[in-house]
Structure 1
Amino acid sequence: MAVTKAASLADDLVARFEERIDRGAMPPGSRFPTEREITEDFGVSRTVVREAFARLAARGLLVSRRGSGAYVADGARFRAFQVTAEEVAEIDDVLRLLEMRIALEVEMAGLAAERRTDSDLAAIRAALAAMDDSRDVDASIAADAAFHAAIARATGNDYYVRFTDFLGVRLVPSRRLYLHANDPATHRRYARAINRDHEAIHAAILARDPAAARRAARRHMTTSLKRYRALRDAGAALRDPDGALSA
């Protein structure tokens, strides 16, 4: 569905107010400009302003007080953490995301080694087998995501599961950077390299060795960082040939 001009203008207005709130220029409890002030300052219609206010309210950033106006919500600075697909637009963005994931993946692997059950091990092995059997990019992406999700569940900590689900395959750096030609031989080499890392993590979790699991997870994530740094240094772009962000 095409984006209307009004919707695009509302998007821009929402982004402007979110930026002001995030940097503290509009602290919780402060009053939003009136509709009239915004239409004059930004050159938009009242329809656009009302649409932007509705979106800000839906995100928990704005509260309306009858007869008084619109105010920044008390919890606006503490809204849920988000990383959208649009934010992961360049290799440097992916590198920052991977740096964050190192701490997450390392600790998940250690806890999984301490707490895993037989069903957790079965799920991890199933993901390993799926990666080994994968014959195309989409299958390897799904197997990779399933492996990390199984480790998250093995921690026994639902917050790890929820955060891993939030990251999802759309934010896991795209294997298409290596495989967009979909060459079967290239795909097999890459899938095997990933699975060697995964198998080392699985072996440590199986042995109930938290220290070894953390080391294996750190090696795995550090290797991913090195790959993407090499791509950045080579001037590779994080977009498919048609311009769409890789999933």
Structure 2
Amino acid sequence: MAVTKAASLADDLVQRFEEQIETGEMPVGSRFPTEKDITETFGVSRTVVREAYSRLAARGLLVSRRGSGAYVPDGAQYRAFQVTAEEVGEIDDVLKLLEMRMGFEAEMADLAARRRTDADLAALRHALDAMEESSDVDASVAADAAFHAAIASATGNSYFLRFTQFLGVRLVPSRRLYLQGDDPVQHQRYAHTINRDHEAIVVAIEAGDPVAARRAARRHIEKSILRYRTLKESR
């Protein structure tokens, strides 16, 4: 479905207010501008403003008080945190995200090795097979996301899974930075390289060895960082 102009304008307003809340420019208790003020300032319709405010409310960033207006609620500055696809569209941003993931992925693999079930191991093996068989960007992205989600699920901690799913879609642009074009051979070669790292993690988890699982997960991210640094230097 095509994005309408109104939807795009609402997105712009949402992003503007999210940034102001996250940076503290609009602290807790701040009153949002009225619909009339926004329509006059930004030249948008009241429909656009209402759509933007509806999205902000759904994200817990806006609360309406009857007869008083809309305000920034307690804790909104923490809920405002986002990592958008646009923010990881450049190699430097991808590297920063990978650095952040390193400790997270290592701890997740450690816990998975301690707590995994037979169903978890089956899901990990299924994701490995899907990655090996992938021949395009979309298929490899889906398989990679499924693999990390399976590790997260194996921790038995739902917050790991939720955060992994949040990061998963943000990693799609980084994959597209690395895999340009539609060459099936290139995609398969890349998938095989990634799967060697994944295999090492799975073997450690299957063995119930948290130390080896942590080491393999950390090494996987380190090698990803090296690949993107090399790509950056080659451009």
* TM-score bucket of the superposed structures, by smaller chain: 0.7 to 0.9
Of all paired residues, the percent bearing the same amino acid is 74
Instruction: Identify the residue that residue 227 of structure 1 maps to in structure 2.
Output: 227
Kindly indicate whether the alpha-carbon contact (under 8 Å) linking 2:83 and 2:170 is maintained by their aligned counterparts in 1.
no
Report the 3-state secondary structure (helix = DSSP H, G, I; strand = E; otherwise coil) of the residue aligned with 1:22.
helix
What do the CA deviations read for 1:134-189 (whole angstroms, capped 9, x no partner)? Answer: 34443333322222222112111121122222223452454444443333433333
Counterpart mapping for 1:18-167 below 5 A: 18-79=18-79, 81-167=81-167
What do the CA deviations read for 1:107-144 (whole angstroms, capped 9, x no partner)? Answer: 11111111122222222222223333334443333322
Report the 3-state secondary structure (helix = DSSP H, G, I; strand = E; otherwise coil) of the residue aligned with 1:33.
coil
Question: Can you give the 5+ residue segments of structure 2 that lack an aligned partner in the other structure?
Answer: none
TM-score, L = length of structure 1: 0.81
Question: Can you give the 5+ residue segments of structure 1 that lack an aligned partner in the other structure?
Answer: 236-247
1:99 aligned partner, one-letter code: E
> Is residue 2:7 matched to residue 1:3?
no
Computed over aligned residues only, the root mean square deviation of the Cα atoms, in angstroms, reads: 2.6
**CA offset at residue 196 of structure 1?**
1.4
Instruction: Identify the residue that residue 186 of structure 1 maps to in structure 2.
Output: 186
2:4 aligned partner, one-letter code: V
Kindly indicate whether the alpha-carbon contact (under 8 Å) linking 2:200 and 2:216 is maintained by their aligned counterparts in 1.
yes
**CA offset at residue 8 of structure 1?**
4.2
Kindly indicate whether the alpha-carbon contact (under 8 Å) linking 2:22 and 2:78 is maintained by their aligned counterparts in 1.
no
Pick closer, same or farther for the CA change 1:220–1:166 going to 2, 3 Å: same
**CA offset at residue 220 of structure 1?**
0.5
Q: Distance in 1 between matches of 2:139 and 2:53?
A: 41
Pick closer, same or farther for the CA change 1:32–1:100 going to 2, 3 Å: same
Q: Distance in 1 between matches of 2:64 and 2:175?
A: 45
Report the 3-state secondary structure (helix = DSSP H, G, I; strand = E; otherwise coil) of the residue aligned with 1:64.
strand
Pick closer, same or farther for the CA change 1:24–1:177 going to 2, 3 Å: closer
Pick closer, same or farther for the CA change 1:55–1:223 going to 2, 3 Å: same
Pick closer, same or farther for the CA change 1:121–1:52 going to 2, 3 Å: closer
Q: Distance in 2 between matches of 1:64 and 1:126?
A: 47
Pick closer, same or farther for the CA change 1:29–1:127 going to 2, 3 Å: same
1:153 aligned partner, one-letter code: S
- The structure carrying a bigger helix percent of its residues is 2
**CA offset at residue 223 of structure 1?**
0.5
Larger Rg: 1
TM-score, L = length of structure 2: 0.84
Pick closer, same or farther for the CA change 1:37–1:121 going to 2, 3 Å: closer
Pick closer, same or farther for the CA change 1:68–1:183 going to 2, 3 Å: closer
Report the 3-state secondary structure (helix = DSSP H, G, I; strand = E; otherwise coil) of the residue aligned with 1:70.
strand
Range moving further from structure 2, 119-128 or 216-225: 119-128
Report the 3-state secondary structure (helix = DSSP H, G, I; strand = E; otherwise coil) of the residue aligned with 2:109.
helix
